Amino acid sequence: MVDPNRRFQTIAGFGASITDSSAAVLYRLSPSARTAAMESLFRDDKLSYLRQPIGASDFVDEPAYTYDDVPAGQTDYGLRHFSVDHDRAQILPLLRQARRLNPELRVMGTPWSPPAWMKTNQSLIGGRLIDSPAIYRAYAAYLVKFVQAYRKEGVPIDALTLQNEPQNRTPAGYPGMDLPSWQAAEVIERLGPMLRAAGERTKILGYDHNWSTHPNDAANTPPDSVADIDHYPQELLSTRAARWVDGTAYHCYYGEPSAMTALHKEFPRKDVYFTECSGSQSSDPANTFSDTLKWHARNLIIGNTRNWAKTVINWNLALDETNGPHTGGCGTCTGVLTVASDGTVTRNAEFYTLGHVARFVRPGAVRVASTSFGTTGWNGRIMDVAFVNPDGSTVLVAHNENDNPQAFAVQYGGRTFEYTLPGGALATFVWRGHSGDRPLDPAGWTATANPPGDAALAVDDDASTRWTTGTGQAAGQYLQVDLGRVQSVRRVVFDTGADLGDYPRGFTVSASVDGSRWDRVAASRKGQFVSASLSRARFVRIALTVPAPDNWWSIADVRAYR
């Protein structure tokens, strides 16, 4: 069921990163081939959000750098040596070309390390910011100068994070830094006012690391930062600096997307962004495309957006056939495109998973409620997410995690269509027009079951909630929904799922105003949907009349309409 009246986060965009390595491999192409590659990404696939390293990351084709490197032992608190000259050769031209191809494109910036002279170990690899107000001011000013320099180059910066993966204290040969939440707060307290004074509207995002703290990171946590373990975003958003923080950024390399919903419940006024995940070469390279498509569809495209993410951003936009060039870090990461040494350009699974949303879900779209039987923990069921675009069109993205084809139905108000999705496939549906229904607000609804089951109704987020009896359906089993008060109800629809072994073979639907006297109402089943016509009621009950000892019976969604 797609319900356009239950709305969640506004989408900012989908994309990847033009890393130093991505720019290098794209510039190995002839100008015409490079233009064709960029057109496929930003005109055809309509990628709409890029995350740009501020200086070097692990994906560079040269020694690591920042925008204010000075000889060892020297400092530059006045940032007199600040320059983005390095980016003028390849990165900035590509960014400007991308913006011409897709004027809706937004860009955010993320540093892998401040200049070495700001750090305790005087190196771009590891260490911390020196605990000094002068250093905090200098680092904040460094980030502001980046925003100003890029704007002058024709690339406005929509958002900033302070540090890529701030709990990764021992990066493998590439720039990185330990930035505990209390130091991040010190920088933000200076960065926020500086951006405002400079007239920049750039947002500040916190964290920029995994859904949950990786055990290796947790094991290396210093005593002054143990509160950050699995709690970094909360620690930062509980400081005074939070007034300057627009949201929290996440990566995919440990944990589950549900961590973003948990944070949203704690801080509902702060946005959630998903800012990095790389595809990875499978142990059998022949399976890389399929493995990546399934994992990214389930966790990134659908899992992230169903858990409040405004963006879905992959890692490298392009890499070569050896998954590089790179310095330390990941040797099996794949790009959205692969650019081979002979000039061949291959679209990888990431191109298609991103395209399933970026081509159809416009920036400014709003995610809306939809039933999802699949979960990020693979369960072989259809998983989906829905959006309403600024022009009023509705977009539904559905993924079949199973190897076999699966049929399913989609209900949008009074309209229904059915579709069979091939095994492992991802599909996007777009339609225009309004549902014509006026759904009741589910806030305050409760559910009970006989026999007792998991009958809690999720009304404040988009978690899929289902009541399952288990095998052995017996006549008289029921699910009862309390609408909270007596009200006018035209229709109630129960979604029992697309699995042929999962629906009630025989059933009755009854309604009551007081929970004592029950009246049967007219009801019918069409595929996975049981629809009942009502007038006024507070309680609605669906009960089995035909036992089916070898089958399950579950209900994943209940909607009521005026």
**Closest C-alpha to 114, from 88, 80, 82:** 82
Q: Is 128 helix (H, G, I), strand (E, B) or coil?
A: strand
518 CB contacts (<8 Å, ≥6 apart)?
Answer: 510, 511, 512, 539, 541
Residues 6 or more apart in contact with residue 438 via CB below 8 angstroms = 5, 561, 562
From CA 272, how far away is CA 264, in angstroms rounded? 7
Number of C-beta neighbours around residue 222 at 10 A: 11
**What is the C-alpha separation between 237 and 248, in angstroms, rounded?**
9
Catalytic residue among 186, 235, 276, 350: 276
What strands lie across the sheet with 271-276, from one edge to the other?
A: 13-17, 309-316, 271-276, 247-251, 203-210, 159-161, 106-111, 49-54
165, 189, 235, 401: the active-site residue: 165
Is 165 among the residues known to form the active site? yes
Q: Where are the beta strands (DSSP E) in 415-477?
A: 415-421, 426-431, 446-450, 467-468
CB 362 within 8 A of CB 384: no
Measured between alpha carbons, how far is 504 from 21 in angstroms, rounded to an integer?
A: 56
- Return d(Cα 33, Cα 327) in angstroms, integer: 26
Q: Which of 223, 346, 262, 20 lies closest to 248 in space, CA to CA?
A: 262
C-alpha closest to that of 350 among 426, 260, 258: 426
Q: 334, 279 in Cβ contact below 8 A?
A: yes
Question: Would you call 276 a catalytic residue per the annotation?
Answer: yes
Report angle CA 302, 304, 308 to the nearest 5 degrees: 115
Residue 440 is classified by DSSP as P
d(CA 303, CA 296): 9
**Structure tokens given for 58:** 């692990």
Contact yes or no for 229/213 (Cβ under 8 A):
yes
The tokens describing 420, both together, are 């069979």
Q: What does the CA dihedral 331, 336, 342, 343 come to, rounded to 10 degrees?
A: -150
Nearest-angstrom CA–CA distance, 294 and 123: 39
Q: How far apart are CA 109 and CA 546, in angstroms?
A: 60
If residue 481 lies in a helix (H) or strand (E), which one and from where to where?
strand 478-488
The residue among 296, 354, 266, 383 whose CA lies nearest residue 14 is 354
* Beta bridge mates, 509: 521, 542
Active site residues: 165, 276
